[in-house]
Amino acid sequence: MDIQDIQALIRDIPDFPKPGILFRDITTLLKHPQGFRSTIDLLAQRCGELSPDYILGMESRGFIFGTPVAYQLNCGFIPVRKPKKLPAPVYQQSYDLEYGQDQLEMHQDALKNGDRVVVVDDLIATGGTAKATAELIEQAGAILAGFVFVIELGALEGRKNLPDVPIISLIQY
C-alpha cells in the first residue's frame, strides 16, 4: 500500500471533540491489517534513515506506532508517560495545552549521553507534546535525531515549535 491508500483508511469525524474541529481518526487505519503493516513499514524506513539507537513514543498513540518500529529496527523503545505512571526517578517537562498545562515524564535511566533518539507519534498538531518530549531527551543528554509522524496538521504549524532536526510526516492535511 502507498501513502494515498493509507490516507484513505483514516476517517474524518466532523465536530469532534467540539464543534468546528475535524478529527482525523486513526482507529480505522489500525484495524486494517495491511494498512497498519504498511504504515509501520514506512515509519520504520523513515526512522532508519536517521540511524537511531532508540525509538521514543509518547503515551499513548506513540506506543502503538513506536514499538513495532523499534522492533523492526532492532532498537530499544523508550516510553514517555503522563505524570506518576513510571516507577523509577524521572525527568519531568511541562507543556501548554489549549486551557492550561500538562506534564510528561521519562525515566532518568532511559537514555545516556550520546544516544541517538527518534521520536515517533501518530500526529503533530501544535507541536507542544513533541517539543516537551524533545526537552526530556535534552535533559537526558541524548541526541534528538528527528521526529517521524503518521499525520501532520499543517495549518497548525506545529513544526515551527520544534528543534531544528528532521521532521518527517507521512500524511499532511
List active site positions.
61, 98
User: What is the C-alpha separation between 19 and 110, in angstroms, rounded?
Assistant: 40
Cell of 145: 535525531
Cell of 161: 515549535
Bridge partners (DSSP) listed for residue 169 = 149
Asked whether 57 and 147 are in contact (CB, 8 A), the reply is: no
58 Cβ contact list (under 8 Å, min separation 6): 80, 104, 119, 121, 129, 130, 133
Cell of 133: 518530549
Asked whether 148 and 47 are in contact (CB, 8 A), the reply is: yes
- Count of positions (residues) in the chain: 173
